[in-house]
Structure 1
Amino acid sequence: MPRTLRVVQFGITKKSEAGMELGFFTMPLHPPGANHADTLEADLKQLVYLDQLGYSEAWIGEHYTAEWENIPAPDLLIAQALGVTSQIRLGTGVTCMPNHNPFYIAHRIAQLDQMARGRLNWGVGSGGFPGDLHVNGFDPRSGDNREMTRQAVELVLQLWEDPKPGNYKSQWWDFNIPEPEDDIALRMHLKPFQDPHPPIGVAGVSPKSETLTLAGERGWLPMSINFVPEQMLVSHWSAVESGAVSAGKTPDRSNWRIAREVMVADSSAEARKQALSGTLARDMEGYFLKLLPRSKMMGLLKIDPNMPDSDVTVEYLVDNIFIVGSPEEVSEKLSALKENVGGFGTLMAMGHEWEPEGFWKESMGLLKQEVLPKVTA
């Protein structure tokens, strides 16, 4: 018999009290041809439900030419969600800087933070989807998208702190900030609500990620991708530590976010059946296991680097990387993950279409109400 889940309003829980927070990361994922109005409504409803369950945060992806990942403007969905949620922090996951002019994105994020009154996280990144990089003429093999991102984020922070008048020009942008005219209050004036700015999050993929090293240097929120085995997660934190030490900082594991595919059901058999036959399997087989080989990224998913790509199946992922099972089994797996990587602050459950809706709602509820208390006890 299905459990009766409590859908209640929770206050914001401090990490020091909870030991580990529970968040959400959504690309989102919808099959090609899906009605955009319907999928946007469904994505919003997920955020509302997670807010009611007491999830601490949710991050929304940005993609322009990926029909599977069909939100190009996560800031617009966040703005809509702010009016129908009360406690969940919302973040761009991520703002792909090669898609944006730093002057305009500085204003959009500052305004969004004002609208959020401090409930905003700002995820930034260099982009990874081939079509999106092609739109703006970036060759990912050159690393230009990463260098542009580094410079653009630094410029946004500079504009928020001290927007000096003058010309700002690089190979990627060219804009002017006018001299102030006090009598008509002409100046660049908009700053974020949070002081000095929203928490900045960056996602790491590869071993010894340069991005995560930068997170350690700057004190930003490090986020680890959902596909990688535990041994690679260990290298992710090593990168954060090395960056922090180089900057004379002490890294805080409570800031580390780890994304994982998680599915919880009353029985392990039911959870496994849904994982292998439902929307999770559809998204992996129909999209990611086709996309990742083209980007030469299949090695990231392997617990044995010598295993052939053909062995990386949904069943392999469910058995070795994803966290699937009954509340008891998932609690054990999460506790083991936490111990094996040395501890982390927030588990980010990955988003998919909630079909069947009742199953997915129960899964997200069990994760919050039965699994998390066991893991943090």
Structure 2
Amino acid sequence: MEVGMFQTPFLPPERTPSEVFDWAVAQAVTADQAGFSEYWIGEHATLMWEAIPSPELVIAAAARQTERIKLGPLAHLLPYYHPATLAAQAAWLSHILKGRYQMGIAPGAYPGDARMRGFTDLSKNHRMQAESVKIMEMIWKGEPFDYQGEFWNAGIPEGDADHPVRDQRPWGDHMPMAMTGLSPNSPSIRYAGAHGYSPCSVFSSNRALIDHFDIFATAAADAGRPGDRTKHRVVRDVFIADTDAEARKLALEGGMGRAWKEYLLPTYHAFGIAEAMVEGTGLSVSDVTLEFLADNFWIVGSPETVQEKFEAWMDGLGGGFGTLLLYSYDYIDNPTPWNESMRRMAQDIAPKLPTAAFAAVEA
């Protein structure tokens, strides 16, 4: 299993743009040095707790300070860009990073982000996403074309010897793509399977995650593509410290606990997602508190405890998957314990997990 990070970022509203930017770049460097395989940056324009409107700025800064880790947005909200502009920008970054760039895409689900761009009706966003991808893929072929679409027009001119058109093909003639999903029967996970993209599941329960595995595998098979679990990314909350008590304290009283208390848990309750968290516990949704999360939902503890929790989780899933993505939180004022937790996950925990648990699981 590989380990990566999803820098949404869950930073409190009082953090300044420069603090958010500096933390995001510093975390990319830490992840690279710890041996993480990839680092994704969220994109939102109006959300107070997820305050990075332009992942490319973080990616460009991190490109000069990292060596191995792959970088990408998760995800570009495609209806809010002209796809030709985005395609040219992404292809350019893929060459700057020499193949370390990958793109996450999404249709956009938050009304505030939509309204800022003049969108009051999100019902067309999925169709816009599909057309956007179609145009980007034509751009990335690097061949002349003219396209008149439902939402956008685009094209690459012929050019001539005196006025050649710059090559728009990405590094290696291929743009790796990914999509996130959270809800059961996720249309995004299904879309990823049908189009050969990597699925990224935000964990809510084993049952929901297995549902994502199955949806992706079925959609991939219907399209004639492999759909095994090694292609899956799964997002979870992890904090590792010397002892269980120390890890629990750092999680509950630090940035992880605050983000869940003030932002994530109210959101999960409002959208009915918290119900999945009590799966198999015999508890009700009203019992989902921070303490419940620390003991039952987050993976928190000493290295030995965390390893045991991961092994038990794999057993519950009936096998493994490709990449674990850690959410990032606000540990700006005291980053050492958080950074050490990242290192332990990548260097101490993942290599010790049973190899068989992470073998390709064919659906």
Task: Say whether the fold is shared (TM-score over 0.5).
Answer: yes
Aligned with 1:152 (options 108, 124, 132): 132
Kindly indicate whether the alpha-carbon contact (under 8 Å) linking 2:181 and 2:189 is maintained by their aligned counterparts in 1: yes
Structure 1 partner of 2:89: 108
2:231 matches 1:255? yes
2:209 matches 1:229? no
Structure 2 partner of 1:363: 341
Q: Which amino acid aligns with 1:177?
A: G
Kindly indicate whether the alpha-carbon contact (under 8 Å) linking 2:59 and 2:71 is maintained by their aligned counterparts in 1: yes
Structure 2 partner of 1:198: 175
Kindly indicate whether the alpha-carbon contact (under 8 Å) linking 1:163 and 1:188 is maintained by their aligned counterparts in 2: no
Kindly indicate whether the alpha-carbon contact (under 8 Å) linking 1:138 and 1:145 is maintained by their aligned counterparts in 2: no
Report the aligned-residue RMSD: 2.1
Instruction: Decide whether aligned partners of structure 1 residues 178 and 343 sit closer, same or farther in structure 2, where only a CA change above 3 A counts.
Output: closer
Instruction: Decide whether aligned partners of structure 1 residues 300 and 60 sit closer, same or farther in structure 2, where only a CA change above 3 A counts.
Output: farther
Structure 2: distance between partners of 1:33 and 1:373: 38
Aligned residues: 352
Identity %: 34
Q: Which amino acid aligns with 2:30?
A: Y
Kindly indicate whether the alpha-carbon contact (under 8 Å) linking 1:163 and 1:177 is maintained by their aligned counterparts in 2: no
Structure 1 partner of 2:295: 319
2:324 matches 1:347? yes
Q: Which amino acid aligns with 1:145?
A: N
Structure 1: distance between partners of 2:160 and 2:24: 44
Give the 5 Å matches for 1:62-211.
62-136=43-117, 137-140=119-122, 142=123, 144-161=124-141, 163-170=143-150, 172-173=151-152, 175-177=153-155, 179-187=157-165, 189-195=167-173, 197-211=174-188
Instruction: Decide whether aligned partners of structure 1 residues 63 and 339 sit closer, same or farther in structure 2, where only a CA change above 3 A counts.
Output: same
Q: Which amino acid aligns with 1:347?
A: L
- 1:228-260 per-residue CA deviation (whole Å, 9 max, x = no partner) reads 111111101010111022112231321111110
2:332 matches 1:332? no
* Structure 1 runs not aligned, ≥5 long: 1-19
Q: Which amino acid aligns with 1:126?
A: P
Kindly indicate whether the alpha-carbon contact (under 8 Å) linking 2:142 and 2:169 is maintained by their aligned counterparts in 1: no
2:37 matches 1:32? no
Kindly indicate whether the alpha-carbon contact (under 8 Å) linking 2:244 and 2:305 is maintained by their aligned counterparts in 1: yes
- 1:20-39 per-residue CA deviation (whole Å, 9 max, x = no partner) reads 11111110122112121122
Structure 2: distance between partners of 1:151 and 1:299: 35
Q: TM-score, normalised to structure 1's length?
A: 0.87
Structure 2 partner of 1:214: 191
- 1:41-94 per-residue CA deviation (whole Å, 9 max, x = no partner) reads 121111111111111111110000012111111012111101110001111111
Kindly indicate whether the alpha-carbon contact (under 8 Å) linking 2:139 and 2:155 is maintained by their aligned counterparts in 1: no
Kindly indicate whether the alpha-carbon contact (under 8 Å) linking 1:27 and 1:61 is maintained by their aligned counterparts in 2: yes
Instruction: Decide whether aligned partners of structure 1 residues 176 and 89 sit closer, same or farther in structure 2, where only a CA change above 3 A counts.
Output: closer
Displacement of 1:98: 1.8
Instruction: Decide whether aligned partners of structure 1 residues 376 and 115 sit closer, same or farther in structure 2, where only a CA change above 3 A counts.
Output: farther
Residue 27 of structure 1 aligns to a residue whose secondary structure is: strand
Structure 2: distance between partners of 1:91 and 1:69: 16
Q: TM-score, normalised to structure 2's length?
A: 0.90
Displacement of 1:375: 1.0
Structure 1: distance between partners of 2:42 and 2:225: 29
* Structure 2 runs not aligned, ≥5 long: 356-363
Residue 165 of structure 2 aligns to a residue whose secondary structure is: coil
Residue 343 of structure 1 aligns to a residue whose secondary structure is: coil
